[in-house]
Structure formats: structure tokens, C-alpha cells
Amino acid sequence: MTRNGVTCAGAYSSTSGRRKRPDRNSPRIPLTLALLALAACWPEAAGLDPKFDRSTRMGIVLVPADATVGSVIYRLRASDEEFEYPLQFELVGDASSSTVQIETLPCTKFNSICQANVILTRRLEPGRYYDFQVSVKDTKGGMSVQSCSITATNFTTPHDIIFPHKAGIIMVPEDAKKGTELDYVLANKNPLFQKPVYLELWGSPLFGIRQKFISPETAEGTIFLLGQLDFEKQAMYHLTVLANDAYAEPGQDTRNIAGLEVVIIVEDVQDVPPVFTVAPPVTRLPAGLIPGDKVLQVHAEDGDKGVPREIRYGLVSEGNPFTSFFDINETSGEISLLRPLDDILALTHAGDPVLLTVIAEEVKVSRDEPPAMATTVQLAFFLPERSNSPPYFENDHYVARLDENAAPGTVLNFTDPYTPRVMDDDAGKNGVFSLTLLGNNGTFEISPNVAEGHANFVVRVRDSARLDYEAATYVHFQILAQELGPATNLSMLVNVTVYLADVNDNPPVFEQADYIVDLPENMTAGTRVVQVHATDVDTARLGGRVRYTQILGPHNTSLNLDPATGVVTVALNNHGFDREAMPEYHLYVEARDDDGIGNRAQVPLVIRLIDVNDETPAFEKPLYEFILAADLRNFTVPAFIRATDGDAEAPNNEVRYELIYGNYENKFFLHPITGELKLNGPLVPRTGGGGPGGQSVGGLRRRRQTGGSVASGGPPATGQKESDVFVLTARAFDLGVPVRYSTATIRVYPPESRTRTVTFIVPGSDPDRKKVQDTLADITGGRVIIQEVRPYRTGDGGIPTDLIGGGGGGGSGGGTERSVVIATILYDADSVVDIAKIQQRLSINGTVTNIISQEERSAILYKAENRVLFWLLIFLAILLALGILTLLLCCICPRCPLNATNR
């Protein structure tokens, strides 16, 4: 083998790669010569041949005999460690006699492997073996060969299993938009392979396929439109969907690829106007033409070839004085003369054409059809010549140069040898001519408009819309000099070409309207975000070189922008992009031409964050306390624990609950979703415990409680005996990966005769739960468990309105806000109420724990004084009445010393 100009005996074979064994009878080679030979052969030994992928070797391939001729039956793959791509696959031997042909797929240096399709060229006979060899070559001549064998089986290809859903014939209107989804296919993977099935679409660059996995076994491929369809160019497309590593029946079919034919039929849409097929632009009228004679005939056809419409013809009369001299047959398109030629000659000048505009319009016959479309064509009729000389220009053509986007009013500068002059040698009225511009579209204007004998004309810019160097490097129009004298239509045309000079007048244009990327919220510094690309149509010497200058928007300092390549990367680990704070961030990337100092353009950059499980569920409080009902079947109030997860999306923010410690004998059940604690069954009291009446709840051993409630924060209850308190540990965990969790303590108290649920009215709209709990514990002498805090409304708690300061709406007596506190009081055997401590706590000013405010005290005192005065007055009135009654009785009674008769 020869490589790099060195021929080595005993080197590695290009096909096997094994070293040839030396001949035992050959003479021994001295060590020095051997080293020299090894050095000469080193480039060959270093060269590596391409290798076939082990997973695609065609040692024995089972193919059902019903395989279609022309279908792909296998996909070969090969790689080269030296990346000498592209690789070329070929049949070894006589390819014309082979059962298959090899189609090498496109491959570049940026591919990790190269591939080739094995295509069946003739029908297979069941039970017959077909042998052939396939080679793969790199760009430097390295080659590997593998022997292949195909065995035809009697098995029938299970198309319905391979493709559970097939896209057969797809009808698409030609005006369908880019990105329209046409249909979809489903493909099952080979059960013997770990890797999933992969779909490809071949046949036309106008269509693509978008794949997603709807299950571990099945992939869905959506066929969508990539380009604009045109029924008039192509009405049908034959596509092939190839499924790599698709389902194959074990023992009957070992193909690694399956194909599905898809037919796309383009439906015609009425979107093309009529097209004139016969419409001579110039017609010279003979001198003997009389009214009624045929001048010419035009013909037009509907541009939509699917369902063409009928055509009707007419003449456009608006702005044309010659329309009345001609007539056209609306169905045949035949134009005839209506009036004598002398009438036309009286209105025209010598050599001046008569222009007619013919319209061809489609016929709409149904209400549901699209609107009818029309096309016009302009015809020029030249009348018989007269004996007169036309105007003429100094030059047969004119050339000028002008900057693109020149301002209106800019004069075209015709330099030597061009002289902007027009002349007419006729005398009198025949020497009067007009100057007009043709093919100008309003870009320029000429002056003077009318002259006699001769004139120097000036052309100025009127509208700079067409003066765009990027659209056209030059503008072409004509100057028409036409005589205005009677009985003359002579004229002269001259061509004018204006070459445009390029200026930096275009901003950069990004390849995409916006860039949308999906990134995890825990991305790190150096993560590639996106690469933007913009181009400038201006030439490089006039600012066409584009640089990427800055990123605008939130957290833009957390991103790096390469000014040359447009690659955007993450600059910091602590970048500030947080999915919980905002699902997506809208920024702008700016590009400027002229090496970053010229025209600018911006493109939206949308970073959509993928939620990562980075938040731990958090309980509302570290300790939950509940009391068993008297029947030991439930709790006095619904026992709920709650935790929240700050993550933004499921399953990361979905919280579940479980009991991990303390639920001995499985007495309790914690609902995993709602967090409600329930009893699995009624607790049976047993004697001998430390509870009230000498019983224990449930017969279980409890933890000893020696202090006050953790939630209440109060001091330990003195002399507390061992009580039947259940201490459970609950865990809240999320469903994300990895799982994050937190724990809380649950204390369950047995029913006690010294347990009370009391409703308190306290001042303030949102009192401090801890301070209120401490205050109530001092007032009641027990351990306080607050169950609920809510705003006070009139009549809350069954307390009369006048006792809490009068009634307005919302329970605000005298304008003071109040709250309702529902709490459970647990009394021990040694409960003590310290009055001095209550007074000390109530004397604290400016805190929520003031049970009665100063204003309320004044109001209560005022009411109390009013009541005392009221009863005092009642008492005095009663005494006065009794005195008067006594006097009356004394006056009546004869025994009374005050009676007048006794005096």
C-alpha cells in the first residue's frame, strides 16, 4: 500500500489493518535497516481506515419477501477517527448484477458519522440468499470492506405495527402558510434496541418533519410546510418517511429502517390573475382601414390552471380619449375600428402612437368563490405616416451617475460627451413639441415640458423611492419628445440610464424576527444561550461590516455578547435569572454596521426558564397541636397541616405529606395530598394509664411532657404528670428531582375535662399571635392553643354589641378595629392565675396585647358613671313618691298626728 509517497512492505492492510507475517526463509534485516524502514513506514502506520459501525453490519439481514422494489431496506453507518470526511459507500464488484444499490447520504466534516441507504432494486425470492460486498472510502484513499448477506423470508411486513398512524394522501391549498402542520405519523421502535425510533422526511425541501416522543416505545412525527407552494409549478409531491430503528418482527425481519410513502397534493387557489397570451404591443394601422374592420385580436387565459375561469374583455376608458374610436368583443377579444382614421389623425401628432388599455377579467359564477381578478395590457397603434420630421436629441442615449436616496430636487448631471438638448427642424406649429418621461414611475421629472424649435432640458429627482442601490444598481427610463402641431404625431424616444452609487443607508437585518431559547434556571457561567446573526446589504467599504454591540433588558449584565460572532453566553453563576420570579425574560440584542458605529438594529431575545427543583417545602409553623374529641374518634377541630413550595411549576411545587416518626401501631393517618390528620380507628381507653380517671388513650406509651406548650412559649407547667400526648413527626416533600423536604412536629392531646374552647375579642386588625397567646395564658392560667384569628364582625362570638363598645358595621366600636381569637385552654391540676402579672401585661402601652385600650376604658367608665347616675335618679324619684304617698295617708288616717281633726 502507498500513502504519502511511501511504499512499505509488511505494513497494515488497508482492509484488515493486521500486520503481514514475515517469511521465515527471508534473510534477516540488520537493526539499522529495520529502524530506517520503520521510520519510512511511519506515516502509513499512523493512517487509520474508516470503520463500519458495529450496530449496522449486514452479516445476515432478514428481509420479508414483500419488500417493495426501490424501498430502503437498511441504513449503513461508518466513521473515521481522522475525520477524513466525507466518506463514500460503494458496492464492490459488479454493481449491475447486485440486488441492491448503495446511496451515500450527504456528510460533512462536522458530522460524527457518515451514512448510506441500501435500496432494493429487484424483488426477493423467499428462502434465497443474496450476497454482496460494500466498501467505504475516506478522502485519502483509506478503505474498509464488509461482506453482506440478505435472506428473504416468507414474513409479511407489519406496516400497521411499524406505523400505527399513516399519513396517506394529504391535500394542501397552495396558499398555505409556512409552518402549517399537514398531518402526522406514528412509528414504534424496535423492541430489541434501547435507542428510540428516529424519523426522517425525504423528497422535497418544501416539507419537514418535527418529532416528539409520546411514549418510550412510540415517536410522533408532524409533517409541516417549510416553503411556499405553487400549484402552477408543481401540483403533487411524493415524500418518503424513513423510520430508523423502527419495529421489526424478531426472527423474521432484521432491517434497521422502514419507509412510508406520503403523497402531497396541492389544491389550486384562485390567486393568479388572467395572463395575456396574445397581445401585440405595437400594431401599425394600414391606410385603408374603415369603421367595422378588425384591427387585431387579443387572447388571455386564467393563470390558475386547476379550475380556470372564463375570461371577459373590455377597454379601459378612464383618462384615454381614444377608447371611443375602438370596440372589443367581450368573449373573443377581437378589436375593431368604430370611427374613421381621419378623426383620430385630427387629435394626434405625426408619429405619435394611439394607446389603448385592454382589460381581461375572470368570471365569478358562485357566491362562495374568491373575488374575480383582472389584468390589463397596453396596446400601441401607429397611424399611417405623414410628411413631417420628428424632433431629435443631441445624443442617441444619455448616462448619468447619482447617489442612492438622493433628495428630491437633485439635478441629474449629464457630463461630456452628453449634451441635454432636443431640437425640431420643422417650422411653425409643427416645430412645437412636448417632453415627457416614460418608464419612470414618478422617480424623475423633466423641464421644460413644452418647447419650440430647440430646448436644453433638465431632469430632477421627484421621488427617491426607487433610488435604492440594493434593489437595483441603475435606473432606466426614456424621454419622449412629441410634436404638438396639428395633424402630426411625430415623436422621438431616447434612453436614459442613471447609475446609482452605494451609500450606507441600510441598517443590519437579523436572520430571525426573534430568538427564543429555553434554559434551566440553574444555568452556570459559560452556558451558551444563543447565537444571533445579522447581515447588511450595504457593501463592506460603506459600512456593511456588522458588529454586535450590546444586550438590553433585565439582567443584561449577567450575559456576555461576542461582538464578532454574536454568541450570547452566561457571564455569572449568580446571574439572577429565577423561574419563580419570572417565567421568561425579554431582552434585545443590538447590532450596528460600520464596525459597530453605524446604523443599528435590534432583535428580541426571549429566554424562557425551565423550572428546577430548588425550593424546599416550608410548613406554616414548626409545631401543630390538636385535641382528641371525647369519643376518641376524631379531633375537636379539623386537623390540617400545611406546607408550601416556592417552585414555579409542577411537579416541583407539588407537595405531599407523610408521617415518619411517632405513629406507632399505625393509629393515625395523614392524607398525603390535603395534609389532614385523621384516626385510622377509634382509640380505646385502657385502665392503668396516667390520664384522667386512671385511663390511658389507646393503650400506647406516650412521651413525657414536662414543660409548657412549644407553641405557646410559656413556662413549663409545674407538677405536670405524665400525660397521654402523642408526638408525631410529619414530613412534607415535593415531587421534583431531587426530592426536597422539611419536617414539623404534631402534638395530639387527649380529651380532658379541664379543656375549654373560648372565643376572645381583642383589639387590632392583625394581632401578634405570640403576644396574644401569652396574654391569654396569663389571664386564664392555662396553656393556650390558638385555633383561628379573624376580623371581628357585629355579633361575633355571641357577645352583645353594647359590651364591646357599640355597634357599627364590622364590629368596630368607636372606630377601633377588633379581631376574634378562638383558642383552646388546657388547664392542669395546678393552674394558677397571677393578677399582678395580668395587670403588668395590660399596663403595657402600644402593643397588641392591650386587651382594653385607653379609649375603651374611658368609654366603659363613662357608661358606668351614666348608669350610676341613672339609678340614683330612679332611687330619688322612688323616695319622693314614697314621701308624697305617706303624707296623703297621714291626712286621711284619723290616728295620724298630722291629721287636722286631731289638733
My answer on whether 368 and 421 are in the same domain is no
Mean pLDDT of 427-443: 84
My answer on whether 619 and 648 are in the same domain is yes
My answer on whether 626 and 738 are in the same domain is yes
Residue 767 pLDDT: 85
| Listed range (14-18, 572-576, 678-682) with the worst mean pLDDT | 14-18
Residue 898 pLDDT: 63
Nearest CA-CA partner of 252 in 65, 118, 125, 54: 65
User: Is residue 174, in this structure, part of any structural domain at all?
Assistant: no
| Listed range (255-259, 413-417, 420-424, 837-841) with the worst mean pLDDT | 837-841
My answer on whether 619 and 731 are in the same domain is yes
Mean pLDDT of 57-69: 91
Name beta bridge partners: 339.
none
- Is the pLDDT assigned to residue 698 strictly greater than 60? no
Q: At residue 684, what is the residue type?
A: V
Residue 784 pLDDT: 85
Mean pLDDT of 128-151: 92
- Is the pLDDT assigned to residue 794 strictly greater than 90? no
Dig out the grid coordinates for 59 from the structure: 452479516
| Residue where a domain stops, chosen among 348, 363, 382 | 382
User: Is residue 577, in this structure, part of any structural domain at all?
Assistant: yes
- Is the pLDDT assigned to residue 46 strictly greater than 60? no
Can you tell me the distance from the alpha carbon of 305 to that of 233, in angstroms, rounded to the nearest whole number? 10
Nearest CA-CA partner of 210 in 227, 188, 225: 225
My answer on whether 737 and 646 are in the same domain is yes
Residue 428 pLDDT: 64
Highest mean pLDDT among 93-97, 346-350, 560-564, 841-845: 560-564
My answer on whether 825 and 760 are in the same domain is yes
Q: Side by side, which strands form the sheet with 515-520?
A: 515-520, 600-610, 584-592, 547-552
Residue 712 pLDDT: 38
Q: Give the pLDDT band of residue 723 (cuts 50, 70, 90).
A: low
Mean pLDDT of 53-57: 87
Q: Give the pLDDT band of residue 370 (cuts 50, 70, 90).
A: confident
How many percent of the chain have pLDDT more than 70?
81
Which parts of 553-651 fold into alpha helices (H)? Answer: 593-596
Dig out the grid coordinates for 365 from the structure: 359564477
Mean pLDDT of 461-486: 87
pLDDT in tens, 581-638: 888 999 999 999 877 888 889 999 999 988 888 888 999 888 998 888 888 888 888 9
User: Is residue 82, in this structure, part of any structural domain at all?
Assistant: yes
Residue 444 pLDDT: 93
Q: Give the pLDDT band of residue 94 (cuts 50, 70, 90).
A: confident
| Residue where a domain stops, chosen among 122, 141, 156 | 156
Can you tell me the distance from the alpha carbon of 275 to that of 360, in angstroms, rounded to the nearest whole number? 8
- Is the pLDDT assigned to residue 18 strictly greater than 80? no
- Do the Cβ atoms of 174 and 268 come closer than 8 Å? yes
| Listed range (300-304, 354-358, 723-727) with the worst mean pLDDT | 723-727
**Dihedral over Cα of 894, 895, 899, 903: its sign:** positive
Residue 151 pLDDT: 93
Residue 208 pLDDT: 94
Q: Quick one: DSSP state of residue 640?
A: B
Residue 711 pLDDT: 37
Q: Give the pLDDT band of residue 864 (cuts 50, 70, 90).
A: low
pLDDT in tens, 888-897: 887 777 777 6
71 or 698: which leads in pLDDT: 71
- Is the pLDDT assigned to residue 13 strictly greater than 70? no
- Is the pLDDT assigned to residue 1 strictly greater than 60? no
- Is the pLDDT assigned to residue 423 strictly greater than 70? yes
Query: What is the residue-averaged pLDDT of the chain?
Result: 81
Nearest CA-CA partner of 755 in 624, 623, 627: 627
User: Is residue 801, in this structure, part of any structural domain at all?
Assistant: no
Nearest CA-CA partner of 264 in 233, 303, 225, 232: 225
- Is the pLDDT assigned to residue 90 strictly greater than 90? yes
Name beta bridge partners: 659.
730
Kind plus residue range of the DSSP H or E element containing 208: strand 207-213
Residue 814 pLDDT: 43
Q: Give the pLDDT band of residue 350 (cuts 50, 70, 90).
A: low
Residue 432 pLDDT: 87
Tell me the angle at which helices 835-842 and 769-780 cross, rounded to the nearest 10 degrees. 150
Q: Give the pLDDT band of residue 78 (cuts 50, 70, 90).
A: very high
Mean pLDDT of 660-680: 91
* HEC letters along 718-778: CCCCCCCCEEEEEEEEECCCCCCEEEEEEEEECCCCCEEEEEEEEECCCCCHHHHHHHHHH
Alpha carbons within 13 angstroms on the beta-carbon side of residue 753 total: 4
Residue 677 pLDDT: 92
- Is the pLDDT assigned to residue 406 strictly greater than 60? yes
- Do the Cβ atoms of 828 and 705 come closer than 8 Å? no
Residue 110 pLDDT: 80
My answer on whether 584 and 632 are in the same domain is no
My answer on whether 489 and 405 are in the same domain is yes
My answer on whether 332 and 433 are in the same domain is no
Q: Give the pLDDT band of residue 851 (cuts 50, 70, 90).
A: very low
User: Is residue 434, in this structure, part of any structural domain at all?
Assistant: yes
Q: Give the pLDDT band of residue 900 (cuts 50, 70, 90).
A: low
CATH number of the domain to which 782 belongs? 3.30.70
- Is the pLDDT assigned to residue 47 strictly greater than 70? no
Alpha carbons within 13 angstroms on the beta-carbon side of residue 802 total: 2
- Is the pLDDT assigned to residue 243 strictly greater than 70? yes
| Listed range (466-480, 799-813, 817-831) with the worst mean pLDDT | 799-813
User: Is residue 143, in this structure, part of any structural domain at all?
Assistant: yes
- Is the pLDDT assigned to residue 37 strictly greater than 60? no
| Residue where a domain stops, chosen among 357, 382, 407 | 382
- pTM of the predicted protein model: 0.36
My answer on whether 618 and 606 are in the same domain is no
User: Is residue 859, in this structure, part of any structural domain at all?
Assistant: no
User: Is residue 898, in this structure, part of any structural domain at all?
Assistant: no
CATH number of the domain to which 53 belongs? 2.60.40.60
Q: How many domains does the chain have?
A: 6
Residue 606 pLDDT: 95
Domain span holding position 370: 275-382
Residue 114 pLDDT: 93
- Is the pLDDT assigned to residue 544 strictly greater than 70? no
- Is the pLDDT assigned to residue 579 strictly greater than 50? yes
- Is the pLDDT assigned to residue 31 strictly greater than 50? no
Residue 713 pLDDT: 38
My answer on whether 281 and 354 are in the same domain is yes
My answer on whether 589 and 632 are in the same domain is no
Residue 487 pLDDT: 62
